């Protein structure tokens, strides 16, 4: 029995876990102001976005949180959560590539048109896109699903995504730490400008990847 067949048999539990992941990320939004003050690690655990990790680096500079705790809290969803979507892409590869037979809930979680665009990018550019996408403001879950749907071997995807994911966590936290230093030395305006410039850069790289997918 092939690896893809094994994954297909696990499609339903993977979907439930992916759904729970989505719910946790949504629940974290209204709770963010409260968690930020007293339970920042829990906020990272629920929603390890680049914005949250940027704030984490700032709080590390202020001495309010432990950097090791923040990194460990970010790993479950930011790393393993993407690998979960890689498994979903493998499990639903036939439906995603044909565009037929995909349940409505799965189609909302894994939009066929978007996955198809990313599959074309991966076929043209290969695994470096996985790494670059991690460093940019880009939907890593969909890129992971596209890697699974395009039958990229796990031995290529997992190490590349792990390296990019860990570097992305460190990248944003270091930026937040530097902005915390700027806040201390020059006041809040310089820190805010720096944060806006960083986010704009990440979004710009992400849009460039998006345009590549739409053009191919």
Higher pLDDT, 206 or 10: 10
pLDDT band at 206 (very low <50, low <70, confident <90, very high): low
Q: Would the pLDDT of 80 be above 90?
A: yes
Are 206 and 134 in contact by the 8 Å Cβ rule? The answer is: no
Sign for the CA dihedral angle at 95, 101, 106, 107 comes to: positive
Q: What is the pLDDT of residue 156?
A: 92
Which residues, other chains included, contact 193 with Cβ-Cβ below 8 Å and sequence gap of 6+?
none
Q: Report the C-alpha gap between 34 and 203 in whole angstroms.
A: 27
pLDDT digits (tens, 9 = 90+) for 169-181: 988 888 888 776 5
Mean pLDDT, rounded, for 62-73 = 92
- 213: pLDDT strictly greater than 70: no
Angle between helices 67-75 and 154-186 (to 10 degrees): 140
Contact 127, 156 (CB under 8 A): yes
Q: What is the pLDDT of residues 149-204, one digit of tens each?
A: 988 999 999 999 999 999 889 888 888 887 765 444 444 444 444 445 545 545 55
Q: Residues 63-85: what's their mean pLDDT?
A: 93
């Amino acid at each position: 029995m092939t690896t893809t067949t094994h994954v297909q048999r696990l499609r339903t539990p993977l979907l439930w876990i992916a759904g729970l992941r989505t719910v946790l990320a949504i629940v974290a939004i209204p709770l963010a102001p409260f968690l930020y003050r007293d339970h920042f690690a829990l906020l990272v655990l629920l929603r390890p976005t680049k914005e949250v990790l940027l704030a984490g680096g700032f709080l590390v500079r202020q001495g309010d949180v432990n950097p090791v705790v923040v990194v460990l809290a970010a790993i479950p969803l930011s790393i393993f959560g993407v690998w979960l979507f890689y498994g979903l892409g493998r499990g639903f590869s036939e439906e995603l590539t044909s565009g037929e037979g995909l349940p409505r809930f799965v189609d909302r979680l894994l939009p066929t048109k978007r996955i198809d665009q990313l599959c074309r990018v991966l076929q043209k550019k290969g695994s470096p896109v996985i790494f670059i996408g991690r460093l940019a403001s880009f939907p890593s879950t969909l890129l992971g699903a596209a890697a699974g749907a395009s039958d990229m071997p796990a031995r290529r995807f997992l190490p590349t995504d792990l390296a990019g994911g860990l570097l992305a966590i460190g990248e944003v936290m270091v930026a937040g730490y530097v902005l915390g230093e700027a806040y201390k030395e020059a006041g809040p305006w310089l820190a805010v400008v720096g944060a806006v410039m960083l986010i704009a850069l990440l979004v710009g790289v992400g849009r460039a990847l998006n345009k590549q997918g739409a053009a191919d």
